[in-house]
Structure 1
Amino acid sequence: MDYIIMAKELLVLYPIVEPEIQFIRHNENMTFKVTDKLSNKNYLLRIHKPAIEGFFGLQHTIEGLKAEIEILKKLGCEELLHVQLPVENRFGEYITQYKFDNYDEPCYATVLEWIDGEILTSKEEITEEIAFKLGQNLALFHKCLEELTPSDNFVRPIYNIDKIDIAIEELKYCVEAELFSIERYNIIKDVLISVKNQMNELKLRNNAFGVIHADIQLGNIVISENNPCIIDLGFCGFGYYLFDLGSAATIFPSNLRQNFLQGYASKAYFSFEDLRYIEGQIFMDIFMSYTLFMRDNQRNSWIKTHAIKTCDTLCRDFLEGKEVFYSM
């Protein structure tokens, strides 16, 4: 079924006049830019049907989507950040269930407000000012959601030690599929066990764990009026704040990472003595991403070259106690 046809069918259920539809991509969701020709206002339509099995998670369930709506509304009511607020359908609901002819099961869809601006696509586009401001905005994101009072059925992914144990088991498939050798698998396993030990230490801290974005990458940052806005809460869930600091730091060239961390520290607690923990969270993020793509032969080839570089240099140095933060 054509993506545009699917979007048109769904948008009949929304108060958007003469929608002009532009397909964006199909990864963890099908996404579209929708323009209301009457008001000239833009929206983001998401059909929550992942392109590959590895992308499916709690975030695609009705409970997970309701929780995401809670998060977006909480961020919006604080008015500290530019947020993609959810839009109601014609029935006054934020989540639409719809049965397409080409799918056996009904799909869920949501519409969010669009943030005008340019998506960050390259490290070369980032300035010291943008790096510092993104650090500030990430700190505000975390602080806003500290005050979130979840509903009784609030369900989102949890990025904890159990997640690492699952990844260690699942990554054995990469050896079977010859994406990397058993020797490199053992290196990855040793790193993840070390990260588990770090997380046991982090457990003893106050205010270190909460709602995190969990997917901060170049394509999820929109520069709007020189303000880096964090979008796409698809993987948002519970984890250590240092996880977000790690994934966000890697979008910057090494020379701008300190600017980013200083920006964060200007709005929330952060110590540069925690770089070792951030390194561990980056490794956790990397190896969990392998599990998302590894079973898709059309999208998993990058793992081969990435694992060689990561295991043979960064992992070995990390296990030897060397600092790798500025090399990742």
Structure 2
Amino acid sequence: MTIPDVTPAPDDVPLADGGEPGPGLSAFDALTRGAPAPYWLHRGVSAAWGLDPTRVVLELITVSENATFRLDLDGRAAGVVRVSQPGYVGGPAAVASELAFVASLWQVPDLRVLQAVPTYRGTYTAQVRDDAGQTWTCVSTRFVTGSVLEDLEDPAPYYRTIGRWSALLHEHARTWTPPHAFTRFTWDVPDMVGPSARWDPWESAGLTDAERELLLAAQDKALAIVADFPADEQTWGLVHADLRPSNIIADGGTLTVIDFDDCGWSYYLYDFAAALTFVEHEPYAPAMARAWVTGYQEVAPLSAGDLEVACALSMLRRLQMLGWTLGHREDALPPGLHAAQKPGSLEVARRFLDRTTWLLA
């Protein structure tokens, strides 16, 4: 049985309950890129999608918030299987909600997103149990040919498109009615920094007292700017929350947005911050930021106040992701980028304190 060619509709994604917090992604600690999936996962995925396991090869692509595997069928790339970290997104209901949102985006002209593949039972999530009895939520999408933008020598020319697509996504989110039982987490300020931040606190990054004070000053300035910004139907809604080169595939002139696992409720301008994740310190970042804004403004206006908030959210995102690096594998990022996060964050903080909109100067 081959993987079916299915274009999901916005209302046909089943929402399921369940999901308990688990041990993170430790089950995949020993795997490196290209390594075969554990037997329990290979067996479970094959069964859930009605595939003959002798015809299936499942190999690791990456481990980040989830473990992602390439699925080959009869020696040809057929799909991508994402294994969700237990407890990270709230269980199968949240994963199915993500897929419902993605399916709805097929209504948006000029925006191309990944296609989910249903299991043999017709659902879009599958529960697979490992050898220790832990249950993992798995989803499968059609394989997208091409190269991840992050792997290209220069992804900067694509930032105008990323900005325009972000605006299209936001326009859609403002008018879309989620299905019953839809549930996704938030990316509010307390989810980014502070004692209830979703990832490790940036304060644990091995900082000197002077370095800590510098980052705290930048955080306080950014928080003050965002605090004055309203969270209403025009400024707050469903966002991708990670729309950057690592989550876009280019195949010639065709771009496809992938990996909506971080999508949730936030300021729409958080997608500006997300677009520059991990590279704000690089000399080419301002050009990318300006291109993003140019593309966004082709669809929707941005005021001077909006741009200052966008830059403040970028500062908070930088601190948030500095904390992220403390709890994630170094190979989750391109070579050298993981180690650059601490010194780069200090440089970004200095620039932000000198001029809040330095990214757009």
Q: Tell me, in whole angstroms, the C-alpha distance in 2 between the residues paired with 1:25 and 1:168.
A: 21
Deviation of 1:232 after TM superposition, in Å, equals 0.7
Distance verdict in 2 for CA 1:154–1:261, change over 3 Å: same
Deviation of 1:110 after TM superposition, in Å, equals 0.7
Match of 1:235 among 246, 262, 266: 262
* Residues 211 and 238, structure 1, Cα contact 8 Å, conserved in 2: yes
Residue 37 of structure 1: aligned partner: 74
User: For each residue in 1:232-268, what CA deviation from the matched residue of structure 2 results, as whole angstroms up to 9, or x when unmatched?
Assistant: 1111111112111122146665334323321111122
Residue 326 of structure 2: aligned partner: 294
Deviation of 1:173 after TM superposition, in Å, equals 5.4
Distance verdict in 2 for CA 1:249–1:202, change over 3 Å: same
Alignment of 1:152-171 (within 5 A): 152-163=180-191, 164-165=193-194, 166-167=196-197, 171=201
Alignment of 1:106-117 (within 5 A): 106-117=135-146
Partner amino acid for 2:182? F
Q: Tell me, in whole angstroms, the C-alpha distance in 2 between the residues paired with 1:171 and 1:8.
A: 35
Residue 348 of structure 2: aligned partner: 314
Deviation of 1:292 after TM superposition, in Å, equals 2.5
Runs of 4+ deviating beyond 6 Å? 297-304
Q: Tell me, in whole angstroms, the C-alpha distance in 2 between the residues paired with 1:64 and 1:285.
A: 23
Q: After alignment, is 288-297 or 113-122 more displaced?
A: 288-297
Q: Tell me, in whole angstroms, the C-alpha distance in 1 between the residues paired with 2:285 and 2:352.
A: 20
Distance verdict in 2 for CA 1:276–1:79, change over 3 Å: closer
Distance verdict in 2 for CA 1:98–1:204, change over 3 Å: closer
Residue 96 of structure 2: aligned partner: 66
Q: Tell me, what secondary structure is at the counterpart of 2:266?
A: strand
Match of 2:243 among 206, 213, 216: 216
Q: Tell me, what secondary structure is at the counterpart of 1:121?
A: helix
Give ranges in structure 1 of 5+ residues lacking alignment. Answer: 51-55
Q: Tell me, in whole angstroms, the C-alpha distance in 2 between the residues paired with 1:197 and 1:286.
A: 16
Distance verdict in 2 for CA 1:305–1:25, change over 3 Å: closer
Deviation of 1:30 after TM superposition, in Å, equals 1.6
Distance verdict in 2 for CA 1:84–1:60, change over 3 Å: farther
Distance verdict in 2 for CA 1:254–1:45, change over 3 Å: same
Deviation of 1:31 after TM superposition, in Å, equals 1.1
Deviation of 1:149 after TM superposition, in Å, equals 1.7
Distance verdict in 2 for CA 1:16–1:147, change over 3 Å: farther
How many pairs were matched up? 314
* Residues 134 and 229, structure 1, Cα contact 8 Å, conserved in 2: no
Q: Indicate the percent of aligned positions where both proteins have the same amino acid.
A: 17
Deviation of 1:23 after TM superposition, in Å, equals 2.3
Q: Tell me, what secondary structure is at the counterpart of 2:48?
A: coil
Give ranges in structure 2 of 5+ residues lacking alignment. Answer: 1-26, 28-35
Distance verdict in 2 for CA 1:86–1:172, change over 3 Å: closer
Distance verdict in 2 for CA 1:239–1:126, change over 3 Å: same
Deviation of 1:122 after TM superposition, in Å, equals 4.8
Q: Tell me, in whole angstroms, the C-alpha distance in 2 between the residues paired with 1:299 and 1:249.
A: 19
Q: Are 2:85 and 1:49 equivalent residues in the alignment?
A: yes
Alignment of 1:51-130 (within 5 A): 57=88, 59=89, 61-78=91-108, 80-101=110-131, 103-122=132-151, 124-126=153-155, 128=157, 130=158
Q: Tell me, what secondary structure is at the counterpart of 1:125?
A: coil
User: For each residue in 1:186-243, what CA deviation from the matched residue of structure 2 results, as whole angstroms up to 9, or x when unmatched?
Assistant: 3323322322222222216651111111113322111133133221111111111211
Q: Tell me, what secondary structure is at the counterpart of 1:98?
A: strand
Match of 2:161 among 115, 121, 133: 133
Residue 53 of structure 1: aligned partner: none
Distance verdict in 2 for CA 1:228–1:135, change over 3 Å: farther
User: For each residue in 1:274-306, what CA deviation from the matched residue of structure 2 results, as whole angstroms up to 9, or x when unmatched?
Assistant: 332222111211211233332569789977753
